[in-house]
């Protein structure tokens, strides 16, 4: 005889405002097998959990139904509660009457009726539940960090600090990411390189950290604690172990006119190159598309001048397979392409630049050695117009709906630094809103306006027209004064929206990690689990999860690292006991289940069966490896004889829920 | 199935939602307080491929007026390929049901990601409206199963 307890939560007024919780408890209490039913203000609180534990002990409950928030929120909490009172965790069912009932319905009668129906379904299911015990699987004590920007670097350093091996996979020839291209950082104006490059060196020197630069993740198998990852190390045609980074090859390379990605095409590099002086690893890379030797077979100069003998034109892509216990995703961001914003004449004039290009133009290591000059004629600009929200907060299909968060601050930084260095230059900033929430941010913005005399104008720029005299005619509106403005500018800077890196989407598919509609990785819970992906063992750091500035990125990377460390210190992980199970007596060995299993968890064995006439028959039957099975249930539907079932979501359980809903 | 005072038909809808995308999408609709009809009741399954065609038949047998299966977008399945199985199985099942006289509009497969709370709400609104127009499902309902 089953003895079920029903616990209805008010969740303050979150549930009780639209659901008559007393009525729900009363009606569910009348269901057969229900021996105890109550409601309480906060079931998840200590007092609430005590109610559950006491009822389990005093009433000898065999199952519990908690009518509360989503199981994604507190299922684990209540399972632990039950376990403490001696009830198997899997004899607890959650009826989601908050997210899927009280929060979406206004009519109290409707919501109450629905809550009762949901509660009945949960009772019907718990009556068929069986106690389950999770299996254990070992943990590979090594972490993978995908992306070698400031987020990846910080995460790797923190994980290595705790004594675990870490591999960083970076697609570019050097680690460092976007921060290497930045001149100064707001609001303190420290030099980005001065705070970043020591961390890059730390990574290179740390014996626990291994950097796979110019590499990509191409395949991910496995699950938390035991991921098998294939890394493609792209051929750089230079032996990393031999190259000393002396640069002799670069000096002699005849292909000098290759647009330099590091300077965003504002200068040129050679076909063999080191992205910048502080690159880690400081190893030359040959651009296979540009190299004469690789494209036509006629050159070979770099190989002749290399005293270390590091050049290897025959190098091939290498594939490395490695096991990991946890993965940190830190793929970062890119500014959006400005092709669709032609009213700003980005494609027509060299003097219309993006903010990142402006960053290079003011960087001491940039193409102009830090002297701000117009890209078209190399003259000093006297009037600069900054346009904010180019593609951000844009509900048309060409831009992004979200706020890119950092543009207000970096534009204020650009404006302030320009005025500080060149007081003769007039600086205008066009904005929709100035958003400066952050420590010292608003003070910084006010300093730009009050102390440095930057002209902030609320309004959007409608059009930029390049004129024959080299000036850029900026047509804009001032929304506060209600007037049309015409400014003759020498330089126009566009604060392009930031978007998730292009590599993120295919990576998410490999990791089976979910993404939002803007291709940013989603977190397991927006508030309580902000650095974890819903997929166990995958952690998020930096702008791959949403627009962020450097301090937030570093903080998130540290948090992700601590989660990874918390996972890697364990020797074994408790697995998910809700796995498939085959009834050997019913299985006819047809292989249907094996074909649909995405994990290869199903194998076949020949087993002896005692037959009715005392003979022994040998039959081929399916067996599920519970350590490999992830519990999707594809096999249960494929099985023609109904032998395969999923623990925790069995056919009978789901049918009972359906019956209860249709009652 | 139920009738309210205005004699407006209110269908009973069973929604099978995969744990990783659509169930989370439904939660997000709740978090964002996006209203959709209370006729929709959700059954949580680990993956859309866990939905046995028999579950759908059972729902109709027990008097459901519409059944909707929601899973991750193609390519985004938490279990890599489960939603493809669901899509194939349901395509076959729905055309068979259509042959048996259960209108195609009573059955639906939708892809709703964990980030698409708004889509979840709008899909459910639309589905309830569509089924409400078709009226009660009597074709497969087994009155012997009805508790009086």
Is residue A137 in some structural domain?
no
- Are A73 and A164 in a shared domain? no
Q: Based on the fold, state whether residues A362 and A280 are members of the same structural domain.
A: no
Residue at a domain's end among A498, A532, A557: A498
Best residue in B22, B46, B71 to probe A by mutation, most A CBs within 10 Å?
Answer: B46
Q: Domain range for residue B63?
A: 11-139
The domain spanning residue A399 has which CATH number? 3.50.50.60
Q: Do A637 and B49 touch (CB under 8 A)?
A: yes
Binary contact (A654, B45; C-beta < 8 A): yes
Give residue-wise pLDDT tens across range A553-580: 999 999 999 999 999 999 999 888 999 9
Cβ atoms of residues A191 and A210 within 8 Å: no
The string of DSSP letters for B16-74 reads: EEETTTHHHHHHHHHHTT----TTEEEEEESSGGG--HHHHHHHHHTT-SEEEEEEPPT
Q: What distance in Å separates the CA atoms of residue B15 and residue B2, rounded to the nearest whole number?
A: 17
Q: Does residue B3 lie within any of the structural domains?
A: no
The phi-psi region of residue A384 (left if phi > 0; otherwise alpha if psi is between -120 and 50; otherwise beta) is beta
Backbone angles phi, psi at A415, to 5 degrees: -65, -45
Beta carbon pairs, A and B, within 8 Å: 156
Would you place residue A610 in the very low, low, confident or very high pLDDT band (cuts 50, 70, 90)? Answer: confident
Q: Are residues A449 and A590 in the same domain?
A: no
In a domain, B92, yes or no: yes
Give the pLDDT band of residue A367 (cuts 50, 70, 90): very high
pLDDT class of B147 with cuts at 50, 70, 90: low
Q: Are residues A487 and A348 in the same domain?
A: yes
User: Do B114 and A534 count as a contact with CB atoms less than 8 A apart?
Assistant: yes
Mean pLDDT of all residues belonging to chain A: 94
Count of the separate structural domains present in chain B:
1
Question: How many domains are there within chain A?
Answer: 5
- Is residue A336 predicted with pLDDT exceeding 70? yes
B27 belongs to a structural domain: yes
Q: Which residues of B touch A641 (CB under 8 A)?
A: none
Q: Is residue B4 part of a domain?
A: no
Chain A residues touching B116 at Cβ < 8 A: 517
Cα separation, B128 vs A491, whole angstroms: 56
Q: From chain B, pick out residues whose CB is under 8 angstroms from the CB of A655.
A: 54-55, 58
Q: A559 and A585 share a domain? A: no
Residues A481 and A506 placed together within one structural domain of the fold = no
- Residue B33, domain member (yes or no): yes
For residues B120-138, average pLDDT? 94
In a domain, A114, yes or no: yes
Residue A517 covered by a domain: yes
On whether both A87 and A15 belong to a single domain, the answer is yes
Residue B7 is predicted with a pLDDT of 63
Q: Do A376 and A475 belong to one domain?
A: yes
Res B148: pLDDT = 47
Tokens read off for A35: 């021996």
- pLDDT above 90 covers what percent of chain A? 90
Residue A422 has pLDDT above 90, yes or no: yes
Do A491 and A604 fall within a single domain?
no
Q: Which residues in chain B (70-109) have CB-CB distances under 8 A to chain A? A: 72, 75-82, 85, 89
Q: What share of chain A is helix, strand, coil (3-state, %, to 5)?
A: 30, 25, 45
Lowest pLDDT segment from A135-139, A545-549, A565-569: A135-139
* B80, pLDDT greater than 90: no
Partner A contacted by B124 (CB < 8 A): no
The answer to whether the complex's ipTM is over 0.90 is yes
- Decide which of A128, A154, A182 is a domain's last residue: A128
Q: Which of A607, A627, A467, A546 is nearest to A138 (CA)?
A: A627
Residue B6, domain member (yes or no)? no
Q: What integer pLDDT is reported at residue B6 of this predicted model?
A: 54
Is the residue at B76 inside a domain?
yes
Whether B58 and chain A come into contact, CB under 8 Å, resolves to yes
Judged by CB atoms closer than 8 Å, whether chains meet at A516 and B52 is answered as: no
Q: What share of chain B is helix, strand, coil (3-state, %, to 5)?
A: 45, 20, 40
Would residue B124 count as lying in a domain? yes
Please check whether residues A404 and A475 belong to one and the same domain: yes
**Contact residues, chain B, for A525 at CB < 8 Å:** none
Give the nearest chain A residue to B31 (CA atoms). Answer: A99
Q: Tell me whether residue A60 is in a domain.
A: yes
Higher pLDDT pick, A222 / A494: A494
Residue range A531-539: mean pLDDT, rounded: 92
Contact A649 B50 (CB under 8 A): yes
* A384: β partners: A427, A491
Cβ distance of B21 and A514 shorter than 8 Å = yes
Residues A369, A480, single domain; the answer is yes
Q: At residue B118, does pLDDT exceed 80?
A: yes
C-alpha to C-alpha distance for A643 and A292, rounded to whole angstroms: 64
User: What is the share, in percent, of chain B residues with pLDDT greater than 70?
Assistant: 93
pLDDT tens for each residue of A38-82: 999 999 999 999 999 999 999 999 999 999 999 999 999 999 999
CATH number of the domain at A617, please: 3.30.70.3270
pLDDT score at B1: 47
Q: Per residue in A273-311, pLDDT tens?
A: 999 999 999 999 999 999 999 999 999 999 999 999 999
Determine how many CB atoms are found less than 10 A away from the CB of residue A519. 14
Instruction: Judge whether A658 lies within some domain.
Output: no
CATH code at position B16: 3.40.50
What's the rounded mean pLDDT across residues A230-258? Answer: 95
Closest CB to B43 among A114, A516, A654: A654
**Domain range for A81:** 4-128
pLDDT value at residue A399 = 92
Looking at the structure, tell me whether residues A280 and A214 fall in a common domain.
no
Residue A294 to residues A48, A286, A287, A298, A299, Cα–Cα distance (Å): 71, 9, 9, 8, 9
């Amino acid at each position: 005889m089953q003895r079920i307890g029903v616990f209805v939560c008010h969740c303050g007024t979150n549930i009780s405002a639209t659901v008559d919780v007393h009525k729900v408890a009363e009606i569910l209490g009348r269901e057969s097998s229900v021996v105890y039913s109550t409601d309480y203000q906060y079931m998840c609180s200590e007092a609430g959990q005590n109610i559950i534990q006491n009822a389990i002990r005093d009433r000898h409950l065999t199952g519990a139904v908690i009518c509360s928030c989503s199981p994604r929120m507190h299922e684990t909490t209540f399972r632990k509660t039950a376990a403490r009172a001696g009830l198997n965790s899997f004899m607890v069912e959650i009826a989601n009457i908050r997210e899927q009932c009280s929060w979406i319905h206004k009519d109290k009668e409707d919501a109450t009726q629905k809550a009762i129906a949901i509660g009945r379904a949960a009772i019907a299911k718990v009556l068929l539940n069986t106690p389950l015990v999770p299996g254990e699987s070992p943990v590979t004590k090594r972490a993978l960090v995908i992306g070698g920007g400031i987020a990846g670097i910080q995460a790797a350093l923190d994980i290595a600090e705790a004594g675990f091996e870490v591999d960083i996979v970076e697609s570019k020839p050097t680690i460092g990411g976007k921060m290497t291209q930045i001149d100064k950082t707001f609001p303190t104006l420290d030099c980005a390189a001065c705070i970043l490059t020591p961390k890059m060196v730390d990574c290179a020197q740390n014996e626990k950290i291994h950097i796979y630069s110019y590499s990509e993740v191409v395949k991910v198998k496995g699950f938390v604690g035991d991921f098998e990852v294939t890394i493609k190390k792209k051929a750089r045609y230079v032996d990393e172990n031999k190259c000393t980074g002396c640069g002799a090859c670069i000096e002699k390379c005849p292909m000098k006119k290759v647009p330099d990605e590091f300077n965003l095409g504002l200068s040129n590099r050679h076909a063999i190159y080191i992205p910048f002086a502080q690159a880690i690893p400081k190893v030359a890379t040959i651009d296979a598309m540009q190299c004469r030797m690789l494209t036509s077979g006629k050159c070979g100069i770099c190989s002749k001048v290399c005293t270390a003998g590091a050049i290897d034109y025959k190098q091939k892509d290498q594939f490395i397979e490695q096991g990991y216990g946890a993965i940190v995703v830190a793929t970062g961001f890119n500014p959006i392409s400005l092709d669709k914003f032609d009213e700003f004449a980005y494609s027509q004039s060299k003097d219309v630049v993006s903010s990142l290009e402006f960053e290079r133009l003011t960087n001491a290591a940039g193409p102009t050695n830090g002297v701000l000059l117009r890209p078209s004629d190399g003259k000093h600009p006297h009037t600069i117009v900054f346009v904010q929200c180019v593609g951000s907060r844009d509900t048309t299909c060409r831009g992004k709906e979200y706020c890119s968060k950092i543009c207000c601050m970096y534009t204020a930084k650009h404006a302030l630094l320009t005025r500080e260095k060149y007081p003769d230059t007039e600086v205008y900033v066009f904005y929709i809103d100035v958003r400066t929430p952050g420590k010292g941010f608003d003070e910084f913005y006010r300093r730009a306006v009050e102390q440095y005399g930057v002209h902030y104008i609320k309004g959007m720029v409608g059009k930029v027209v390049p004129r024959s005299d080299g000036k850029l005619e900026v047509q804009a509106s001032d929304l506060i004064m209600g007037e049309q403005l015409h400014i003759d500018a020498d330089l126009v800077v566009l604060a392009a929206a930031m978007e998730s890196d292009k590599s993120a989407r295919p990576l998410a598919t490999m990791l089976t990690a979910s993404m939002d509609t803007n291709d940013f990785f989603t977190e397991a819970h927006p508030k309580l689990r902000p650095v974890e992906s819903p997929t166990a063992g995958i952690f998020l750091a930096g702008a791959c999860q949403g627009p962020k500035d450097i301090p937030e990125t570093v903080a998130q990377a540290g948090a992700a690292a601590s989660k990874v460390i918390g996972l890697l210190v364990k020797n074994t992980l408790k697995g998910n006991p809700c796995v498939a199970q085959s009834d050997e007596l019913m299985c006819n060995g047809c292989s249907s289940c094996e074909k649909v299993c995405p994990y290869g968890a199903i194998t076949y064995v020949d087993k002896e069966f005692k037959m009715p006439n005392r003979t022994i028959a040998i039959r081929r039957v399916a067996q599920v490896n519970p350590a490999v099975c992830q519990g999707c249930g594809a096999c249960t539907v494929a099985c023609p004889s109904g032998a395969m079932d999923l623990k925790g979501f069995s056919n009978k359980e789901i049918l009972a829920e359906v019956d209860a809903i249709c009652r | 199935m139920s009738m309210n005072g205005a004699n407006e038909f209110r269908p009973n809808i069973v929604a099978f939602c995969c744990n990783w995308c659509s169930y989370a999408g439904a939660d997000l609709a709740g978090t964002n307080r996006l209203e959709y009809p209370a006729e929709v009741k959700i059954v949580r399954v680990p993956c859309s491929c866990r939905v046995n065609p028999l579950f759908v038949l059972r729902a109709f047998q027990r008097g459901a007026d519409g059944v909707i299966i929601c899973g991750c977008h193609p390519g985004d399945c938490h279990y890599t390929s489960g939603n493809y199985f669901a899509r194939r199985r349901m395509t076959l099942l729905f055309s068979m049901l259509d042959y048996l006289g259960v209108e195609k509009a009573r059955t639906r497969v939708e892809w709703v990601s964990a980030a698409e709370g708004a889509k979840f709400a709008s899909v459910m609104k639309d589905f309830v409206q569509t089924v409400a127009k078709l009226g009660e499902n009597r074709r497969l309902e087994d009155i012997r199963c009805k508790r009086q």
